[in-house]
């Protein structure tokens, strides 16, 4: 049986809410939408982008912040297949459903009112703490946030590799450059490495600029069987490869992340995704990395073979990871500067880069975009292309 998901499906539509307006309205004390409302608005925009009607959709995957059954109702969808997943696994599940014949055109829909709803990602009532965020097991010793986890992890990495704070600051600087060229980004003022070093620590060694934003909004993608997608539009963005590998052994003790920095999982996924897509790191024009914290980027650069293991600091400072120099990473500004949509906005940026619609931040001749996520012990990758 052929289980290769390469070129099985393609993205025909993307949409999102106006994150800047969402942020302004929440700042002014309004509550424009709940999570469902943001998802509906994004879905409508994705339908327009795809040139489809709701009746053309026969599959639905919703993000973990919205209920599947209710979303189907409010979107007016009566699909034959669906479920719930994060951004990364939603794309993979859509490909699997299309491959197996369970659906032909799948809507992936996400909405989050995390800012207006005052969601906490640390402390005694951290979101998800009782279910899947394993650092909560260490709450009696004061480790109650993801920021604390990544600070602990990256301090060890810095000690082992010699990566400096100034080198880590290259991530925030590069992503602000992308955001300054992105009309949708929340944080558009450019910064320097000196600005980064002068910013306060939140949890040392992580500075304020190492942390993602917290904002409301919604995102939606529409993925269809490739031959059908080509009949829908002239420029569908094809999913050339996917991969996943989990680190489960010792996961609740945090051991895999603290000792190996996701590296074994990333290397396994690199083998999967590049072999499936038939390309390698040298063929990739643009990289998108889930960046709840800046330290995800150097770890991904090493894990997927863009630089040697232990050499990310030198790679970032000398080779470069910005639109101005080197390998473009998180060209929209990512979670640090564009919008924190839990990986969903990276998918939109990947699609727009392949389409060539990113204006001043467009990567020239962008044929392949590699998306990477390393969250909660699992590594996931997607390669988008023409």
The string of pLDDT tens digits covering residues 154-171 is: 999 999 999 999 999 999
Residue 104's pLDDT is 98
Nearest Cα to Cα of residue 57 among 120, 91, 13, 7: 13
Structural domains present in the chain: 9-118+216-232 (3.40.47.10), 142-213+239-385 (3.40.47.10)
Residue 129's pLDDT is 47
Name the pairing type of β-strands 378-385 and 368-375.
antiparallel
State the Cα–Cα distance between residues 124 and 205, nearest whole angstrom.
22
State the Cα–Cα distance between residues 186 and 215, nearest whole angstrom.
9
Percent of the chain with pLDDT over 70: 95
- pLDDT one-digit tens code per residue, 19-46: 999 999 999 999 889 999 999 999 999 9
- According to DSSP, residue 362 is labeled P
State the Cα–Cα distance between residues 202 and 189, nearest whole angstrom.
21
Does residue 205 have a cis peptide bond before it, meaning omega lies within 30 degrees of 0? yes
Structure tokens at 84: 């719930």
Give 121 or 288, the one with higher predicted confidence: 288
Please give the helix or strand (H or E) that residue 263 lies within, else none: helix 263-277
296, HSE (Cβ side, Cα atoms, 13 Å): 29
- pLDDT one-digit tens code per residue, 315-353: 999 999 999 999 999 999 999 999 999 999 999 999 999
State the Cα–Cα distance between residues 81 and 103, nearest whole angstrom.
6
Residue 127's pLDDT is 63
């Amino acid at each position: 049986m052929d289980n290769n998901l390469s070129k099985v499906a393609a993205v025909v539509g993307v949409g999102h809410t106006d994150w800047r307006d969402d942020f302004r309205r929440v700042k002014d004390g309004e509550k424009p939408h709940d999570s469902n409302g943001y998802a509906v608005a994004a879905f409508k925009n994705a339908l327009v982008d795809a040139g489809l009607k709701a009746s053309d959709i026969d599959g639905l995957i919703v993000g973990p912040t919205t209920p599947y059954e209710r979303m189907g109702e409010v979107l007016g969808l009566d699909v034959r297949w669906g479920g719930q997943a994060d951004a990364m696994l939603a794309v993979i599940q859509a490909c699997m459903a299309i491959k197996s014949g369970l659906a032909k055109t799948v809507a992936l829909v996400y909405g989050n009112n995390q800012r207006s709803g005052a969601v906490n990602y640390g402390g005694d009532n951290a979101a998800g703490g009782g279910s899947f965020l394993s650092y909560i097991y260490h709450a009696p010793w004061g480790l109650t946030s993801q920021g604390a986890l990544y600070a602990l992890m990256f301090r060890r990495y810095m000690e082992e590799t010699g990566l400096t704070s100034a080198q880590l600051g290259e991530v925030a600087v590069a992503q602000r450059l992308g955001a300054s060229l992105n009309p949708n980004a929340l944080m558009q003022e450019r910064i320097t490495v000196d600005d980064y070093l002068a910013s306060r620590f939140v949890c040392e060694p992580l500075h304020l600029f190492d942390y993602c934003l917290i904002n409301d909004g919604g995102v939606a993608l529409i993925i269809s069987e490739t031959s059908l997608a080509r009949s829908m539009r002239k420029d569908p963005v094809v999913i050339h490869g996917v991969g996943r590998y989990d680190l489960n052994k010792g996961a609740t003790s945090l051991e895999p992340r603290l000792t190996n920095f996701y590296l074994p999982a990333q290397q396994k996924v690199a083998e999967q995704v590049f072999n499936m897509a038939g390309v390698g790191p040298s063929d990739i024009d643009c990289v998108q990395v889930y960046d709840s914290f800046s330290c995800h980027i150097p770890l991904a650069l090493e894990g997927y073979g863009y630089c040697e293991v232990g050499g990310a600091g030198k790679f970032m400072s000398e080779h470069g990871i910005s639109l101005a120099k080197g390998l473009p990473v998180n060209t929209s500004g990512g979670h640090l500067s564009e919008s924190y949509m839990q990986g969903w906005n990276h998918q939109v940026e990947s699609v727009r880069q392949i389409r060539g619609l990113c204006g001043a931040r467009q990567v020239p001749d962008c044929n392949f975009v590699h998306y990477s996520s390393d969250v909660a012990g699992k590594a996931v990758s997607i390669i988008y292309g023409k």
